[in-house]
Amino acid sequence: MESDAEEEAAATPAAAAGPAAGRLKGSPELTVDADMREMAKTAAWSVSSCKAGNGVAALRDDNLDTYWQSDGAQPHLVNIQFQKKVQLQLVVLYVDFKLDESYTPSKISIRAGDGFHNLKEIKTVELAKPVGWVHISLSGADPRETFIHTFMLQIAILSNHLNGRDTHIRQIKIYGPRPNPVPHQPFHFTSREFITYSTIR
């Protein structure tokens, strides 16, 4: 299982903001900012297709030896639906070109909306023979747009390496900002010193 230490680890530079985030290669360690938390533990997960024994559960089992394998026409879709509107900042995928070769995604689209009826593409990324954790920032081109506010996220695999048809993804994590630790405080303080002195005694 993912430990608190992993969630609290130092920041890894995320994908560049904008419609296209460049060619990503992956990182051996899963590291995120300390002010983020994993958001999708209670979400409803579904996929457009899967091979028997390699279903949606493999995306969330914290086991890098298992994987979801699609079994149908592209694009291959992973759907994450939340019970209420949530703030999301980061999508992290584990993929491995060395093991999966032509099953490895090469182009991914991230879409968000209230449901299947109004999903809009918010980010497209290309992967270059990735091995490890691929960090995809959901922030916009405007530096003030640090997260998206949505009921649903869809990860669409548009193409694979070596013109492969079906795809393998070994893990997916979805991160958003931690709740403000200071009640009724409009500003989000992250250091212990600021939090200590943020209320009137």
Q: What is the mean pLDDT of each run of 10 residues along the chain (201 residues)?
A: 39 37 78 91 97 97 97 98 96 98 98 97 96 92 80 98 98 92 56 53 53
pLDDT the model gives residue 10: 31
Q: What is the pTM of this model?
A: 0.78
Distance of alpha carbon 77 from the chain centroid: 13
pLDDT in tens, 131-188: 999 999 998 777 677 889 999 999 999 999 999 999 999 999 999 998 876 655 555 5
Q: Which superfamily does CATH assign the domain made up of 40-178 to?
A: Galactose-binding domain-like (2.60.120.260)
171-190 burial by CB neighbour count: b if 16+ within 10 A, else e? bbbbbbbeeeeeeeeeeebe
State whether residue 138 is helix, strand or coil.
coil
CA angle, residues 164, 170, 172, in degrees to nearest 5: 115
Give the model's pLDDT for residue 179. 82
pLDDT at 4: 41
Assess contact for 126 and 106: CB atoms under 8 A: yes
| pLDDT number for residue 146 | 81
| Contact criterion met (CB below 8 Å) for 12 and 27 | yes
Tokens found for residue 52: 């028997």
Reading the block at residue 45, the tokens are: 């997960």
Q: Which of 49, 101, 86, 95 is nearest to 70 (CA)?
A: 49
Contact 137, 146 (CB under 8 A): no
Helix (H) or strand (E) holding 7: helix 4-7
- Give domain limits for the chain: 40-178
pLDDT given for residue 188 in this prediction: 54
